[in-house]
Amino acid sequence: MKWFLTICSIFAFASGPVSAYLGHPEILLVSTIGFVTLIFVANLDRISEFKASRDGIEARTREVVARAESAVSELQLLAVQVAELSLSLVKRQGRWGGYSDEEEEAIRKSVIAVLSKLKIPNSEMESVLKEWHRIVEFDYSHHILGGSSIPNNAAPEVLSEWKAMREGGIAKFPSPQEIMSFLVKNDYLTHELDELVKDYRFYCVNRFHKRPEVWQQRRDWGQLRKS
């Protein structure tokens, strides 16, 4: 159908000058209008928007729209990847003495705000923050277990268990329940540690800190001692 209309439009366009040459100039206008109409109808499937204005006629084709949508999708994908990498680097760099908690949070909020403006889906937002949350959880487990200080007066088997819980690094670290079991079994559980484990569990579920002021003091939580 499309090719048929295109061929007809060509005949309509050619008939104008021929008719004028044969002494029928009024047909020239009719043939021109017919040509434009047939060309328009023949390409109707490619037209996504048609707008008349004082400056002329503007037509946007589906091809142009498709390219624009593709560009937006690629921009969104790039934004997600850059955001994920940026947040990961912020959490990984320096580990100690790098960005302050306030600076980290400001950067996180800024990145999330940009992604929101780009209309990144919530599922992608969760992917961007996955590494961020994982490192926060690692820090909870690391500092609840005493940071870099070995448990006070720990028996060899207790020290071996403590080291085993930490040797996985950021890739594999103990859950709140595993830490609680270790503390209870080895008589390290205190009221303060119980609350810290609850804070850790709360973050795993809600993805924000139950007691931000306590979290900011995590480097001072201290060494494990018998309760």
Residues 50-71: what's their mean pLDDT? 58
Tell me if 15 sits within 8 A of 41, measured CB to CB.
no
Give per-residue pLDDT as tens, 176-215: 999 999 999 999 999 999 999 999 999 999 999 999 999 9
Give per-residue pLDDT as tens, 107-158: 888 888 888 877 888 888 888 899 999 999 999 999 999 998 999 989 999 9
| pLDDT score, position 48 | 52
- What six digits make up the tokens of 16? 């104008």
Q: Computed from CA positions of residues 5, 11, 16, 19, in that sequence, does the dihedral angle turn out positive or negative?
A: negative
Tell me if 37 sits within 8 A of 44, measured CB to CB.
no
Give per-residue pLDDT as tens, 214-225: 999 999 999 999
- What six digits make up the tokens of 199? 């804070």
Average pLDDT, the chain: 78
Given a cut of 70, whether residue 41 has pLDDT beyond it is no
CA distance 191 to 96: 27
CA distance 101 to 122: 24
Across 10-14, 80-84, 217-221, least confident range: 10-14
At residue 49, the 3 state secondary structure works out as: strand
Q: Computed from CA positions of residues 5, 10, 13, 19, in that sequence, does the dihedral angle turn out positive or negative?
A: negative
| pLDDT score, position 80 | 75
CA distance 108 to 143: 22
Residues 35-46: what's their mean pLDDT? 59
At residue 52, the 3 state secondary structure works out as: strand
CA distance 85 to 130: 11
Confidence of residue 227 (pLDDT cuts 50, 70, 90): confident
